[in-house]
Chains A and B, each alone.
Chain A
Amino acid sequence: MLHYLARVVQIQHTLSPKSPLRDASVFGALLKKHESMLRRLSDLHQSRIQQSASLKFYSDTKSFLNRFAESRNSIENELDRCSRASDPESRDRLKSDLEKVSAAIADLEKLVAESSYFLPAYEVRSSLDSISQLKESLDVVNAKLLPRKRFAFKNKVVNRDSNNVLGSVVNAVSESGIGVASNEVLVEKPSFRVCDSPGFRNKEGEVLVERFDGEVNGDFTLSDLRSCEVRLIGRFRALFIHRLRDCKVFVGPVLGSILIEEVEGCLFMLASHQIRIHHARESDLYLRVRSRPIIEDSNGVRFAPYRLCYEGIERDLKDSGLDEETGNWENVDDFRWLRAVQSPNWSVLPEEERIPMVNV
């Protein structure tokens, strides 16, 4: 209690250094204030305890660890069994078996996410490490038993003429369950208009060329283009691509990232540190990329290595850290698909269908 009083005195001191300690009313008020603060803290603490107790999850580290180990073992056993499958009958079932393994890994990841609020940081990290090891093993088994080629040709089921890029966007948004009903705040129009960044917008049937010479720190936008050919020569920082149809787009090295949304029937030749593709349909992408490209809500997209040529491109690639072929053009992650099992939404563009080196 002494400790407690000392603190009150201290607080009083900092709040009003001039008021005498004898002043009972000030002291009383401070005591009250301090008490209510402690009450608030206690409430906060209680509500935290209650919150975690009310979690339906295994609010006890030990039972989490047991459960985690159990699932991990069964996944490992299953992977092991799959990798040794030799008779033709079990080989036929491999695809669905591996998909189940993939789903089990996803469940395990979710368990960690849900339990992480009561788990010690160390357990969270080591569980996440185990999960990425499981994913890697699954990748290895997949690559060994189900070479990508087996699926690459099944992908052409989508009809090329259904041109409903926007329709699929709307669906995807409401599917995600966010942002549709509950947006009263946002219905109002933006109170502030900003001017657009450099780019090509709203064109049809044109050849559009831009050369970047000195300035490498700018961004560039391509939006609402139809049947155009675009050439962006030189290096720059970031590229946004939005609503393109039946276009051919050839681009020099981009130092940061490229974001592609709502494109259809296009050919892209791109080099960048990061490439994200959303809502793309029936398009071919020739990529050089440092990290793994991702697709989301896309289908019929095919990938091949970058083959672009213009005077000085070697140096531009080198200066952008993109001179090395990482092979990542085919390490595509489909965020709409369980990882590690080949997604039906993309494929490797067969050699014989690839265009030759392009000179712009």
Chain B
Amino acid sequence: MGLLSIIRKIKRKEKEMRILMVGLDNSGKTTIVLRINGEDTSVISPTLGFNIKTINYQKYTLNIWDVGGQRTIRSYWRNYFEQTDGLVWVVDSSDVRRLDDCKMELHNILKEERLSGASLLILANKQDIHGALTAEEIAKVLNLDAMDKTRHWKITGCSAYTGEGLLEGFDWLVQDIAARIYVLD
């Protein structure tokens, strides 16, 4: 029977995960990816199109897609949905005015069939800014409790500026994906 060959096939790809970074522009997606990868974050231009980073994280290889958040290209996000294992939704916790926009875009993306199996990490970024909303407040505004019960999700406060909270968030994401996809390890 084919079971063993399936196991082998899964094992071969086992170390790779695809992660999609999304969120409104200016929320800090590119900064977060660079910070996790230990790169210089002092000069970052707004992302036109997309960047792909391959990062070794614990024993996994993360293929991280950092997609530009500008309206012009938001409709291209769909191109990146196929085979996404994890979704990171980044929020600028100091940008109170656009939270409605943020909520709307998040709920839109979660309706995507092709993303229904993906683990969801919400990063309430820019916690270093005085007056930023806390992760709990962001969770309320985004109405996360109303989310589909089958979705695996977590929200964490973080700052790409100080690095605080990033590892906690990504550790959860990677573990959650691993538990789902590589049960046989």
Contacts and interface: CB of A to CB of B under 8 A. Distances in A.
Interface in B106-141: 107-108, 111, 126, 128-133, 137, 140-141
B37 interface: no
Closest 8 CB pairs of A and B: A291-B45, A292-B45, A218-B130, A192-B140, A185-B107, A186-B104, A217-B130, A294-B46
B181 to A, nearest CB: 8
A276 B61 CA distance: 33
B67 to A, nearest CB: 9
Contacts of A172: 71
Interface string B56-86: 0000010100001011111110011011000
A117 B143 contact: no
B70 A48 contact: no
Contact of A7 (B72, B97, B184): B184
Interface stretch (B1-9, B150-158, B165-173): B1-9
The range of chain B's interface size is 35 or more
Interface in A303-360: 321, 333, 335-336, 339
13 contacts: A41-B183, A113-B80, A121-B52, A128-B51, A176-B71, A183-B104, A191-B143, A192-B137, A218-B131, A219-B129, A237-B130, A333-B45, A335-B48
B46 A190 contact: no
A3 B4 CA distance: 9
Contacts of B161: 256
Nearest to B101: A179
The range of chain A's interface size is 35 or more
Contacts of A290: 42-43
Interface in B85-104: 94-97, 99-100, 103-104
B44 A274 contact: yes
B163 to A, nearest CB: 15
A197 interface: yes
Contacts of A196: 96
Nearest to A55: B82
Nearest to B96: A194
Contacts of B99: 190, 194
Interface of A: 1, 3-4, 7, 37-38, 41-42, 44-45, 48, 51-52, 55, 109, 113-114, 116-117, 121, 124-125, 128, 172-173, 176-179, 182-183, 185-186, 190-192, 194, 196-198, 215, 217-219, 221, 223, 237-238, 240, 242, 256-257, 259, 273-274, 276, 278, 290-292, 294, 296-297, 321, 333, 335-336, 339
Given A125-B52, A240-B97, A194 B70 contact: no
A21 B82 CA distance: 42
A198 B95 contact: no
B144 to A, nearest CB: 11
A164 B107 CA distance: 30
A274 B42 CA distance: 10
Contacts of A194: 96, 99, 133, 137, 141
A47 to B, nearest CB: 10
A196 B95 CA distance: 10
Contacts of B111: 182, 185
Given A114-B79, A185-B107, A238-B129, A335 B73 contact: yes
